[in-house]
A = this chain, B = another copy of it.
Amino acid sequence: MPSKYTTAQIAELMDQISNWGRWGKDDQRGALNFITNEKRAAAARLVKTGETVSLSLPLPTTPGRDNPMPVTHLMIRSGHIGHPLGSFGCADYFAIQPHGLATTHLDALCHHFYRGKLYNGFDAESEIDFQGAHKCAIDVARGGIITRGVLLDIPKIKNVDWIEPGAAIYPDDLDAAERDHRVKVGEADVLFIRTGRHKMRAARGASGIAGMAMPGLHASCLPWLHDRKIAVLGSDAVSDVEPTDYDAPLKMPIHTGTLVMMGVHLIDNADLEPLAEKCARDGRYDFMFSLLPLVLERGTASPANPIALF
């Protein structure tokens, strides 16, 4: 497996995994199309005990080294105002940049471009302006993402607490995790790759943004993901390993390969620690999965509270 990718190799890889046109030339939903009614009904049948696990970090309201633009959370009314006999209430306001590295969120397909194009060949420059994304915005998922979820816990199979920033995960690791977990990633699944980032973050504190290093998938995993026909890819980091030593100008090939070429939405910065503990405890790595994005027309992402239901 090459540790370096040339520009030509990346280009070849992107062609190889392309889903452009697969669901028609006007399609904006990409691999969400894999999730059929039957798939959702089957996912519901995975539910046995009714236990839930949230995969969401709390929204960050203070700045951190990987979070220079936290959520602004202000109150519009508080608890001291109100008629002594009567009812009254408090209310709040928040402002958010959902793509932040400490925010659990769903990336819309419009979030990345490749050679000036969005998923399915839409033109980035003309389709994304100051009103937002006129194609492939987050509201294509307004029906919710409800399907089978699968966790592959990479630190577990490597017997480490976490994967170090900058260390890559390869297809062999995915295969090994499947064997260890006795699970098989399949069509229309939401696949989560655990790197242990939040265990590391709890132990070491957050890394800085500048020169940010992240554990994540090597570009060579893209054909694996494509073959399995996943619907969505999730991570406790950002799916891509960073930095890379590719010769190519394309520095986040997993983002590009999934969002742009395959039409696979990404879930960034999920909290996979409680999920990993639950899966290990039960010896079961699949579950009914739900993520219900906010209906922000022309939006490029939604903050989210993804839930695993067992």
- Measured CB to CB, the residues of A under 8 A from B are 7, 36-45, 47-54, 56-59, 61-63, 68-69, 71-99, 104, 110-116, 118, 123-133, 139, 142-144, 146, 248-253, 255-256, 259-260, 288, 290-301, 303-307, 309
Contacts and interface: CB of A to CB of B under 8 A. Distances in A.
B63 A63 contact: yes
A225 to B, nearest CB: 16
- List the 6 closest A-B pairs by CB distance, nearest first: A79-B128, A37-B50, A40-B50, A41-B50, A44-B47, A95-B95
Total copies of this chain within the assembly:
4
Given A47-B40, A309-B44, A82 B124 contact: yes
A259 to B, nearest CB: 8
A80 B295 contact: no
Contact of A59 (B92, B96, B248, B295): B295
Contacts of A63: 63, 68-69
A146 B44 CA distance: 12
Contacts of A87: 112-114, 250-253, 255-256, 260
B86 A250 contact: yes
Contacts of A92: 97-98, 132, 299-301
Contacts of A132: 73, 75, 92
Contact of A76 (B74, B89, B288): B74
A124 B90 CA distance: 9
A74 B45 CA distance: 41
Contact of A91 (B72, B95, B97): B97
